[in-house]
Amino acid sequence: MIQLSLLGSVISVLGSRSFAKALALIPTPDETEGPFYPVKDQNDKDADLTQIEGHKGVAQGQYIIVSGQVTDVTGRPVENVTLDIWQADANGRYHHPRDPNKAHLDENFQGWALIQTDDNGVFRFKTVMPGAYPASGTWIRPPHIHLKISKQGYRALTTQMYFPGEKLNKTDLLLNAKSATEKSAMIAKNISQQGNLPIYEYNIVLDLLRN
């Protein structure tokens, strides 16, 4: 009875909508780093992965914008968070010496970025829609983007961002190991179009570092 009374007091103070929103802020689910994290350093790791400094050519494929906000579990924006981003090119190839995929490697695709959130926890980068690729003889991975997110005072997060409406999402072994709530948190939303650029929103929730 005491717990219910306290709960009622909290709801009355915050308002039912605010309280429900607070409950909904679960940390973004963890996911495996995968075998193709970059092993060779490169000079250009900026927020535009569609071109590499010093290259005359540009990346192949459908260009997209990914933007979002990093918050903590209380809903507070987290500034100056480091996002370490890597992905396959439009053909499904990684810039990694041990990638066994025989698809053509796009030498003009940057493939890796290190960016930070602004004072409001907001980030944005331009890239290409990653291609699907075979993970085994019976498993084709859907388009996805890898992210490592770190900030002092918060639990480090490694995850993967998926795209809405992809048929291969339904058969992906990693994504389908998640609950419905976790899947929803890991699939970006197609929110608008900027000329020929689809814009995807992917918000990230960091857990507080616990002693």
**CB 155, CB 208: distance < 8 Å:** yes
pLDDT tier at 158 (50, 70, 90 boundaries)? very high
Per annotation, catalytic residue among 93, 95, 96, 144: 144
Least Cα distance to 129 among 179, 168, 182 occurs for: 168
Least Cα distance to 47 among 21, 7, 84, 91 occurs for: 84
Active site residue 154: no
39 φ/ψ sector (left φ>0, alpha ψ -120 to 50, else beta): alpha
* Mean residue pLDDT across the chain: 91
The residue to which tokens 């709530």 are assigned = 181
Active site residue 155: no
CA 122 to chain centroid = 13
What is the reported pLDDT for 211? 64
What is the reported pLDDT for 160? 98
Does residue 164 register a pLDDT over 70? yes
What is the reported pLDDT for 210? 77
Q: Which residue has the higher pLDDT, 2 or 99?
A: 99
Q: Which tens digits make up the pLDDT trace of 65-109?
A: 999 999 999 999 999 999 999 999 999 999 999 999 999 999 999
Per annotation, catalytic residue among 63, 93, 94, 95: 94
Active site residue 37: no
Q: E strands within the chain?
A: 63-72, 82-86, 112-116, 122-128, 133-134, 140-141, 144-150, 157-162, 189-194, 197-201, 204-206
Give the DSSP per-residue string, 82-135.
EEEEE---TTS--S-TT----SPP-TT---EEEEE--TTSEEEEEEEPPPPEES
What is the reported pLDDT for 208? 92
Distance CA 54, CA 116 (A): 23
Per annotation, catalytic residue among 93, 95, 96, 146: 146
Distance CA 13, CA 4 (A): 14
Per annotation, catalytic residue among 96, 141, 154, 162: 141
Per annotation, catalytic residue among 95, 96, 133, 200: 133
Distance CA 46, CA 41 (A): 13
Q: Which residue has the higher pLDDT, 185 or 17?
A: 185
Least Cα distance to 175 among 24, 34, 28, 31 occurs for: 31
Q: Which tens digits make up the pLDDT trace of 166-210?
A: 999 999 999 999 999 999 999 999 999 999 999 999 999 999 987
